[in-house]
Amino acid sequence: MADLAKFRALIDGVRIEDNAQIVKQKSRDFYWYSPVLKRQLDHVTADLIVTPRDEAEVIRILAAAYETGVPVTTRGTGTGNYGQAMPLSGGVVMALTELKQVGAIRPGSVTAGAGIVISELDAATRAHSGQELRLHPSTYRTATIGGFIAGGSGGIGSINWGGLRDLGNVIRARVVTCEASPRVLDITGDDLSKVMHAYGTNGVITEVEMPLTAAYDWIDVLVAFDDFMAAVRFGDDLGNEDGILVKEIAPIAAPVPYDYFLRHQKFLRRDQSVVVVMVAPHAMGAFETFAARRKAEIVYRSDRATAEELKSLPPAYELAWNHTTLRGLRVDPSITYLQVLYPFPTHVESVERMVGLFGDEVPAHCEFVRFDGRVTCFGLPIVRYTSEPRLDEIMRLHEANGCPIFNPHRYTLEEGGMKQSDPIQLAFKREADPKGLLNPGKMIAWEDPDFDFSSGKLFLFPGLAAAAAGA
Amino acid sequence: MADLAKFRALIDGVRIEDNAQIVKQKSRDFYWYSPVLKRQLDHVTADLIVTPRDEAEVIRILAAAYETGVPVTTRGTGTGNYGQAMPLSGGVVMALTELKQVGAIRPGSVTAGAGIVISELDAATRAHSGQELRLHPSTYRTATIGGFIAGGSGGIGSINWGGLRDLGNVIRARVVTCEASPRVLDITGDDLSKVMHAYGTNGVITEVEMPLTAAYDWIDVLVAFDDFMAAVRFGDDLGNEDGILVKEIAPIAAPVPYDYFLRHQKFLRRDQSVVVVMVAPHAMGAFETFAARRKAEIVYRSDRATAEELKSLPPAYELAWNHTTLRGLRVDPSITYLQVLYPFPTHVESVERMVGLFGDEVPAHCEFVRFDGRVTCFGLPIVRYTSEPRLDEIMRLHEANGCPIFNPHRYTLEEGGMKQSDPIQLAFKREADPKGLLNPGKMIAWEDPDFDFSSGKLFLFPGLAAAAAGA
Ligand SMILES: Cc1cc2nc3c(=O)[nH]c(=O)nc-3n(C[C@H](O)[C@H](O)[C@H](O)COP(=O)(O)OP(=O)(O)OC[C@H]3O[C@@H](n4cnc5c(N)ncnc54)[C@H](O)[C@@H]3O)c2cc1C
Ligand SMILES: Cc1cc2nc3c(=O)[nH]c(=O)nc-3n(C[C@H](O)[C@H](O)[C@H](O)COP(=O)(O)OP(=O)(O)OC[C@H]3O[C@@H](n4cnc5c(N)ncnc54)[C@H](O)[C@@H]3O)c2cc1C
């Protein structure tokens, strides 16, 4: 059994928080986005929060965990919405937010502590040499870079650079193992897939080296359309314009923009769909030409807004990706959403088919990205939630129509992702976390090697039931 | 008739060159690349070279030309290889090389005189703020930016940004018309297509505003393959890697690399095909991983070369695009080449089919680019030239197999391009050059409005015959 008292003694000097109220608050992420996860995980909490000051303290914490059998769930800032950072077996949540130093900034790359908030990292590289990260989640101003790599996938900038999974979008990750004497590994190249998007189940990332690109004062633009499919085609065509530099293209179907983007409501009619775009200042002329050719109506552009107005309006990236859903949830807590891939080259038709199938039950929200070199789109449609069976049915219909779902209503790596185990991540967990203490319950392949992914059965982490019983 | 004496008087004070030897030399471009153009244009020469110091002198020259009927052919540095800058009706060649001032450099853009050599422009923006042009021809160190816009199409960097024709790859061109009182027009947006790739037939570009991107110390890499199609697939896959930043991908079939890249010969075997790549330093790790996965052999990389070695080796971009042909011509003056588009998504199969059809008569050379948002390739294959009818037959067979040819053996805009007249450029010529004095003989639509492009007939500029008779 885990010996928490001994654990505390072993890490003497490390910042510890054990006030139950605060511990509970710091144990939670955005799992409540999903009505399914909310039901399953609402009771989950850690026993302690530890906040290491540096890598040496991370090593001490992991050695102590190994010795005492205390589970450790690593946490950036807990913005994950798949319940990634929920400590299913209790134990310790280790917050990495103090590992926030910015190291060497070179042309095209930066080294930084894993716990730095992404926008703060960008602020440093911008000030240093007019550079910024290639891509970031819409939680730019709250999420950590380590949490993005361990628990995220892509976002603003993916229209140019693809996703985190693409070779070259992370250069190096420095990882501490959970062993008697934790090892510190500098992981590069192919090996990065061992720890990227592994929910911290097989090592703790303390430092990252990320590629940079030129930073610009991106202009936020809203383009309005009477017809949603016209908005989608506009986005697709824009994504395929090789010379027009944009960082974000998101068509969102009416009435979502009007109903949920309250501060931008004044620019819109309720029956208008929009495309949210971020355009480089030097591409604005070309963008205007592109829009004029299509007689598209630019209803808002931040470079024409007053300073007053800008203060009251959230940035465009906080209308997009999961922030669309967040804004929806604030207005109507009963909604939820999905994550879909509409594969190239039939993505536009697929979107149209799904819109035809579900209508206003599943208002569409697309995010154009590069995917294996082609411009295609993900979907993060809003779902007007009625019941779990209906939600499952909606997902089933997507998949039956050739649109794979990344199920945001599952807390395991496999069920929220490719629905198959990842032998590379599993093998690395055997090496780096032999006692299975890191973020227990998230990797099915570890917990239940015989689990049959084709069964359609839901995985239930036994430890979770135990925790629930104890709660 | 043109009154050259009066023209000279009118432009008194402008730098004039009339030494026949020098005039002849400064009237020529790289038309001799093509055995066909060499036969047709070898006798062509101007009467005078004028070299304006600034836009005011350009205006004076064009006003004088209008008044006296003297033809004016604008010239950057005469590196065009479609005979674009050959003064078919004699008259004046106006060299823009003194218009080379660098103006405002902003994040993402630069303003410069049209006559600046491209690498000098890049040197200025690099020194200023670590920025460089998005794309440049392989004649980076010799060609002017104005000549590129008026007579070129794409090159190094097109794998990321497409071609010059793409919206956003030129921001603004300042153009002087040839009228009694020449107008100075700042042309942006859709209007840019009036003067881009118009061979200077409808206005003289004096200043340009170009988009910039982040500059890197690109690493030159040669990857060798026993099988050319493996090289092509490597290039295609690399081009579709969204996270690996490269600036150039050119598969070139054996024995071209060994036979023609004399200074790189020591790295190669004669039966090896190569892919010429330029990789960003911070992408080199990802590139190595990518290459290792495919067991591809990196035979040369500039970041591992000694300073000594680097001095003796031309940069990778001078192995690519038309420089492949140039290196071939130096070894074997009997060869020539073609420009082909292999359209997406069947480009790899098309290359394979053409290789199968022609074998070593047409050694393949591909250039991967973004084209309407997709990664595909152009071809600049070497042709072991035997006769004009056979050359025509080779082109016909390409087109019959769905691979359009941009015929580099024709000096007119239409025949070297889309084989149809461009009504926008023609309309603008009517406005901007009502007497038809700018680069006569290059726009068929102006010279012979009834010319039937579907006839397959060769256009013969009557003025050229007259000049030949006079020669
Ligand atoms: C409104 C909203 C919008 C979002 N938009 C996006 C988006 O656009 N794109 C996207 O990809 N995601 C998005 N997300 C999900 C999430 O915000 C991001 O993935 C974010 O980057 C997570 O960072 P974090 O610091 O909050 O990580 P956390 O939530 O704290 O952790 C995420 C996972 O990574 C693990 N982890 C954290 N740090 C480390 C570390 N240093 N070493 C090892 N494991 C670690 C945790 O254990 C957990 O499993 C969004 C979420 C919300 C709520
Ligand atoms: C070895 C070699 C490699 C090449 N590689 C490439 C390549 O990679 N990509 C590519 O696109 N091309 C390539 N080319 C063609 C050519 O070099 C480029 O297009 C180059 O940019 C032309 O610039 P220039 O200054 O030499 O123009 P010039 O040859 O002097 O002129 C080109 C055309 O533009 C007109 N012109 C020039 N300046 C102006 C102006 N200011 N206003 C109006 N009209 C003007 C001229 O009248 C002429 O019709 C290559 C040629 C060679 C010989």
Q: Which of A159, A242, A347 is the best residue to mutate to test the B interface, defined by the most B CB atoms within 10 Å of its own CB?
A: A242
Distances (CA, A) of A263 to A106, A268, A409: 38, 10, 29
Read off the pLDDT of each residue in B345-360 and give the average, rounded to a whole number. Answer: 98
Cβ(A411)–Cβ(A467) below 8 Å: no
Query: C-alpha angle with apex A233: B164 to A222, nearest 5 degrees?
Result: 85
* B293 interfaces chain A, CB cutoff of 8 Å: yes
Q: Using CA positions, which residue lies closest to atom 44 of ligand 2?
A: B200
Residues of A in contact with B111 (CB under 8 A): none
Residues of A in contact with B377 (CB under 8 A): none
Distance from CA of B219 to the nearest CA of A (A): 13
Residues of B in contact with A374 (CB under 8 A): 240, 373-374
Asked if B106 and A371 come within 8 Å (Cβ–Cβ), the reply is no
| pLDDT band per the 50, 70, 90 thresholds, residue A10 | very high
- Given this model, what pLDDT does residue A471 score? 42
C-beta of B137 in contact with ligand 2 (< 6 A)? yes
Residue of A119, A139, A164 with the most ligand 1 atoms within 8 Å of its CB, for mutation = A139
Read off the pLDDT of each residue in B172-183 and give the average, rounded to a whole number. Answer: 98
* A106 interfaces chain B, CB cutoff of 8 Å: yes
Read off the pLDDT of each residue in B13-23 and give the average, rounded to a whole number. Answer: 97
* A127 interfaces chain B, CB cutoff of 8 Å: no
- Given this model, what pLDDT does residue A458 score? 84
Ligand nearest to the CA of B438: 2
pTM greater than 0.95 (yes/no): yes
The identity of residue A428, as a single letter, is F
Asked if B166 and A243 come within 8 Å (Cβ–Cβ), the reply is yes
Cβ(B416)–Cβ(B406) below 8 Å: yes
- Both tokens assigned to B465: 């015959």
Could you give the percent of chain B with pLDDT greater than 90?
93
* B82 interfaces chain A, CB cutoff of 8 Å: no
The 3-class secondary structure across chain A, one letter per residue, is: CCCHHHHHHHCCCCEEECCHHHHHHHCCCCHHHCHHHHHHHCCCCCCEEEECCCHHHHHHHHHHHHHHCCCEEEECCCCCCCCCCCCCCCCEEEECCCCCCEEEEECCEEEEECCCEHHHHHHHHHHHHCEEECCECCCCCCCEHHHHHHHCCCCECHHHHCCCCCCCCCCEEEEECCCCCCCEEEEEHHHHHHCCCCCCCCCEEEEEEEEEEECCCCEEEEEEECCHHHHHHHHHHHHCCCCCCEEEEEEECCCHHHHHCHHHHHHCCCCCEEEEEEECHHHHHHHHHHHHHCCCEEEEEHHHCCHHHHHHCCCHHHHCCHHHHHHHHHHCCCEEECCEEECCCCHHHHHHHHHHHHHHHCCCEEEEEEECCEEEEEECCEEECCCHHHHHHHHHHHHHCCCCECCCCCCCCCCCCCCCCCHHHHHHHHHHCCCCCECCCCCHHHHCCCCCHHHCCCCCCHHHHHHHHHC
Q: How many CB atoms lie within 10 A of CB A418?
A: 12
Q: What's the full length of chain A, in residues?
A: 471
C-beta of B29 in contact with ligand 2 (< 6 A)? yes
CA–CA separation, A14 and A5 (whole Å): 14
Q: How many CB atoms lie within 10 A of CB B180?
A: 11
Give residue-wise pLDDT tens across range A305-351. Answer: 999 999 999 999 999 999 999 999 999 999 999 999 999 999 999 99
For A284, nearest residue in chain B (alpha carbons): B168
Residues of A in contact with B196 (CB under 8 A): none
Could you give the percent of chain A with pLDDT greater than 90?
93
Residue B146 pLDDT > 60:
yes
Give residue-wise pLDDT tens across range B381-427. Answer: 999 999 999 999 999 999 999 999 999 999 999 999 888 899 999 99
The backbone region for A323, taken as left when phi is positive above 0, alpha when psi lies in -120 to 50, beta otherwise, is alpha
Read off the pLDDT of each residue in A195-209 and give the average, rounded to a whole number. Answer: 97
Query: Higher-confidence residue: A454 or A422?
Result: A422
The crossing angle, in degrees rounded to 10, of helices B388-400 and B347-358 is 150
Residues of A in contact with B130 (CB under 8 A): 107, 129-130
Read off the pLDDT of each residue in B96-123 and give the average, rounded to a whole number. Answer: 98
Give residue-wise pLDDT tens across range B216-226. Answer: 999 999 999 99
Read off the pLDDT of each residue in A460-469 and give the average, rounded to a whole number. Answer: 72
Residue B471 pLDDT > 50:
no
For B370, nearest residue in chain A (alpha carbons): A242
Read off the pLDDT of each residue in B8-34 and give the average, rounded to a whole number. Answer: 96
- Given this model, what pLDDT does residue B256 score? 98
- From B168, B190, B242, residue closest to A370, measured CB to CB: B242
- Both tokens assigned to A437: 């203490």
Residue B470 pLDDT > 60:
no
* B189 interfaces chain A, CB cutoff of 8 Å: yes
Distances (CA, A) of A68 to A4, A38, B343, B402: 7, 30, 62, 69
- Given this model, what pLDDT does residue B465 score? 67
For A286, nearest residue in chain B (alpha carbons): B168
Distance from CA of A370 to the nearest CA of B (A): 7
- Given this model, what pLDDT does residue B441 score? 96
Asked if B243 and A161 come within 8 Å (Cβ–Cβ), the reply is yes
Beta-bridge partner residues of B342: B377
Distance from CA of A363 to the nearest CA of B (A): 27
Residues of B in contact with A371 (CB under 8 A): 242
The burial class, CB within 10 Å (0-12 / 13-18 / 19+), for A330 is exposed
Asked if B189 and A286 come within 8 Å (Cβ–Cβ), the reply is yes
C-beta of B73 in contact with ligand 2 (< 6 A)? yes
Beta-bridge partner residues of B51: B15
Asked if B245 and A168 come within 8 Å (Cβ–Cβ), the reply is yes
Asked if A282 and B374 come within 8 Å (Cβ–Cβ), the reply is no
Q: Using CA positions, which residue lies closest to atom 27 of ligand 1?
A: A147
Give residue-wise pLDDT tens across range A233-252. Answer: 999 999 999 999 999 999 99
C-beta of B320 in contact with ligand 2 (< 6 A)? no
* A155 interfaces chain B, CB cutoff of 8 Å: no
Q: Using CA positions, which residue lies closest to atom 38 of ligand 1?
A: A147
* B193 interfaces chain A, CB cutoff of 8 Å: no
**Cβ-based contacts under 8 A for chains A and B:** 154
Task: Report CA B52 to chain centroid distance, whole Å.
Answer: 24
Which ligand 2 atom is at minimum distance from the Cα of B154?
Answer: 11
- From B131, B134, B281, residue closest to A108, measured CB to CB: B281
For B110, nearest residue in chain A (alpha carbons): A282
- Given this model, what pLDDT does residue B446 score? 95
Residue A1 pLDDT > 80:
no
Interval between CA A143 and ligand 1 midpoint (Å): 6
Cβ(B135)–Cβ(B158) below 8 Å: yes
Asked if A245 and B108 come within 8 Å (Cβ–Cβ), the reply is yes
- From A168, A190, A286, residue closest to B167, measured CB to CB: A286
Distance from CA of A45 to the nearest CA of B (A): 38
- Given this model, what pLDDT does residue B469 score? 55
Residue B100 pLDDT > 70:
yes
Return all residues near B280 (Cβ < 8 A) that are at least 6 apart: A108, B216, B218, B219, B245, B246, B247
Which ligand 1 atom is at minimum distance from the Cα of A164?
Answer: 11
